[in-house]
Structure formats: C-alpha cells, structure tokens
Amino acid sequence: MKLRYFAWVRERVGKAEEDVDVPDGVATIGELMTWLASRGEEYAHAFDNPKVIRAAIDKTHVKPQTPIGTASEIAFFPPMTGG
Amino acid sequence: MKLRYFAWVRERVGKAEEDVDVPDGVATIGELMTWLASRGEEYAHAFDNPKVIRAAIDKTHVKPQTPIGTASEIAFFPPMTGG
Amino acid sequence: MRYIPRMTTTVRIQSEPFDAAAEAKKLSGGRTDVGALVTFTGICRGNEGSEPIVALTLEHYPGMAEAEIERHVAEAVARWPLIGVTVIHRHGRIQPGEDIMMVATASSHRQAAFAAAEFLMDYLKTRAPFWKQVEKADGTTWVDAKATDDAAAERWAAPGRKHAAAE
Amino acid sequence: MRYIPRMTTTVRIQSEPFDAAAEAKKLSGGRTDVGALVTFTGICRGNEGSEPIVALTLEHYPGMAEAEIERHVAEAVARWPLIGVTVIHRHGRIQPGEDIMMVATASSHRQAAFAAAEFLMDYLKTRAPFWKQVEKADGTTWVDAKATDDAAAERWAAPGRKHAAAE
C-alpha cells in the first residue's frame, strides 16, 4: 500500500511517500496511524497527536474510523490552509 | 418650495420639477401628497396610491409622517430599482 | 499599535461605460495589505423571463444618488475592516451585455470583503435613487421593485445580527 | 419550458500566475443571460500581524486538489442557479502582491452568485488539500488552520439553513 505525506507530516516523517506492508489487525485509518507512530522516532513525532492529522483514501477525505479496505493510496496531512 | 418627480411619478405628473406654494395646514410629507393629489387629474393619477410613493427632503429619504419644515427641495418617486 | 490602513473609497455615477476589472485592480495594486478582493458586476441581461430586452434606461436623482451611496460606503467602512471600496453606477440607456454597475471591496480578510460587498449591493438595490425602465419590442415599462430585495436589505438592520468581521 | 443555460465550469491548479479579470470576463462574455458576476481574488499579503512576509509557498496534493474542488463546484451548481463557475488555485512560491487563487461565479441573479462564491471559498479554505508555508526573515513556518474557517464552512451544512437561491 502506498502512503503519502504532506506539509509538516511529510517533513517530520522525512519522506513524501513510501510503500508499506500493513500488518494484519490494522483495519482503520486510526489504527494505521497508531501503527505508523510505532515505526520510529520520526513517525512518533509526526503522529504524536493523531487528532490533528487528516487522512484521505484514494484522494477522498476519510475519518479515523474509516476502514482501510482495499485502498491503493492513503495520505496523511495537517488541516488544510489553502484559499 | 421646489418639488421634483422621478420615473413614473414624473411621467404621470407630466413634469420633472416645479415650484409650488404649499398652503398652510400642509405640515407633513403625507399631507403634501394628499394636497398634490387634489391639484388635478394628472396629480390624482400620480398620487392615487401614496403608500407606494417614496419621498426625499433635500436629498435624504424621509417617511410620510416627516414634517416638511424648512425643506428647499422635496422629491417624490417610486420604490428604487437600481443596482 | 493598531495598523491603520490607507483607505481608498471611490463613488462615481456616470453614463459612460467603465472597466470593472481595471477599477477593482486599483484597490489592490501597488500595496501588499490587501488579502481579499471581491468584485460584483451587474450586467444588463438580454431577456426578462422569455421576452427579449432591447435596452434598459436608468433614471437617477443627481446629487442624491452620490450622497446615498457615499453614506452606505461610510457605513460599510465603519462596520467591516476594509482597505478600499469602489462603487460605480451608470445611468442612461444600456444595452444587453453591457455592465450596469459594480461594487468592489478590498480587505485583509475574505469575510469582511464579502459581507461589505453584499451589504452595499442590498442597499443599492433598495435605497439608491435609480429607476430602471425596460425597453422591449412592444414598448417600455418601469421595473417593479422586488419584495425580496427589501428583505435582503433588512437583514443588515436586524437587531443582534452578528457580522463576520474578520477571519 | 424552463430555460436551461449553457453552463461553463473551469477548475485549474497551476504554478503560473493567472489574470483574474480576464478569467472572470470569460464567464459573461459573448452571452446575455448573466446578470451578476462575482469575483473573489485571494492575494498574498506582505505581512502577518506586524511581521513582514518574504513569500508564501503552497504545497498541494495533485489529483486530489482538482477532484475536491470539482466536487464542490458541482455541489454549488446543484444548490444555486448558476451559469458559470471558475476556480483557479496556484501552488509553489508566491510573493507579496501576487494573486494566490480566484473564484468567479456567474448567475442571472446576484444572491446566487454571492452565495456560491462564499460557499466555494469556505470549502476551499477547509477541504481543498493545500498547505501554506510562510517565509519570513527568520525562517519558514506552516500556517495554522483557523477555527473560524471551520465555522464558516459548517454554516453551509447546518440543517434547515435557507439559501437565497434567486432574487
């Protein structure tokens, strides 16, 4: 599964995207963030306050409780500040 | 006192402006409209429904109960449709 | 110290056409404190319902039109943190596709610019002394005032209404 | 028979500057059914509070940004009687005084044009995947999302809210 990071989430993780094998038992966006936070210091820093992180599955906004399902691309980013 | 008429009030009265001597006892805008309506057929037609006529004293919107006072110019016109 | 912006207000009543884009640009050009620019342009349509319009003719009350618009511009400036306001309104004969009038508002913040532009439009429709006559193939008629325009203007006067004055 | 206007919608994400006035003009040019044209332009300011800004850099999520804006344009078209909508949003480095983005809405009636432009702006601020980084003399920081922007976007979703859909 492809993960993409934007803005300060990208800066903290230290990369814009990566391919990961998500372990069994990680079923929702929220669980994916918890698992990512356990992957090292930079991830722990990026995901230390998951409440402020927004997510999209295949370029559509989703909530933490949304199941990952058969997503091909999941993105994590801070609240948006365009306009 | 100078009176000015605009839009269909002007068309019905048949003139854009005139100088009139307002008789004693005509104290408010509403009373002035009643008096004007008595001045002939064209005035009666213009002021037959005074509720829809708006007025300005010296280029400021006023209500029917506003006293004429020492106005130098009073205008009558339909509801505005600019913009 | 609170930053007091240099304020630009322009009110013009004219029979000549105007360039809405160029007028709006003047509010933000040459300065870097404008974050939001809202422009409204009112355009003469070519039909009313299903009937074609040949032209509109706008009558106005010279002197009062300027004074009334300036009074509402001053009120908008007092109510919202604006940097610039431009109102231009044409009179005379106007053909379909031509611009009738414009309002442009500049502010640091979008909500102030939007609110002030809508406020000015609602008041222009109901309080500025202009009257539209519509010319069709079978003659001319005066446009009736709309109750919905009065309602739109009244919402700004409703007690307790809150304005989004800043982002 | 109800008149079904020819509808023009344009959504563009680009790093190049754009000409807001020319883009807005495209919505009303060559047709006579547009009575109201509203243009919002978001401009890079030269300061944040009292601190000078060197530049803004806008990061975006390619593909999702277009899709998200197009979804909201479609919703605006469904909610209000619009004739045309244009949204252009830049990404990359933008200097003070330069335009960041624009929304233009064309309709027969002013209230629809205003409401749709505000709706699109409120959603763009909170749902379109763009992130602003502000560059000052002492370094760069990510702009924080504003709670007031979330509140502005939520008013469009509030149950029972009435929209002024026509004059």
In CATH terms, the fold of domain D12-156 is Aldehyde Oxidoreductase; domain 3 (3.90.1170)
Within 10 angstroms of residue B4's Cβ, the number of other Cβ atoms is 19
Q: Where are the domains of chain C?
A: 12-156
Please write the tens of the pLDDT for every residue from D141-154: 999 998 888 888 88
Show the DSSP H helices in chain D as ranges: 20-28, 64-79, 110-127, 147-154
Whole-angstrom distance, CA of residue A60 vs CA of residue A5? 14
Angle at D148 between CA D144 and CA D150, to 5 degrees: 85
- Which pTM was predicted? 0.92
| Site from D40, D88, D131, D134 to mutate, A interface, most A CB atoms within 10 angstroms | D131
C132:B81 CB<8 A: yes
Strands C51-52 and C82-90: unpaired
Amino acid letter, residue B8: W
Q: By C-alpha distance, which of D101, D105, D147, D149 is closest to D123?
A: D149
What chain D residue is nearest to A61 in terms of C-alpha separation?
D127
Residue A24: alpha-carbon gap to chain centroid = 17
Strands D47-48 and D99-107: unpaired
Please write the tens of the pLDDT for every residue from D11-56: 999 999 999 999 999 999 989 999 999 999 999 999 987 899 999 9
User: For a pLDDT cut of 70, what percent of chain C falls above it?
Assistant: 92
Any chains having at least 3 CB pairs less than 8 A from chain A are D
Reported residue count of chain C is 167
DSSP structural state of residue A28: B
What interface predicted TM-score (ipTM) does this complex get?
Answer: 0.92
Confidence tier at C17 by pLDDT (50, 70, 90): very high
Q: Are C103 and C76 in contact (CB under 8 A)?
A: no
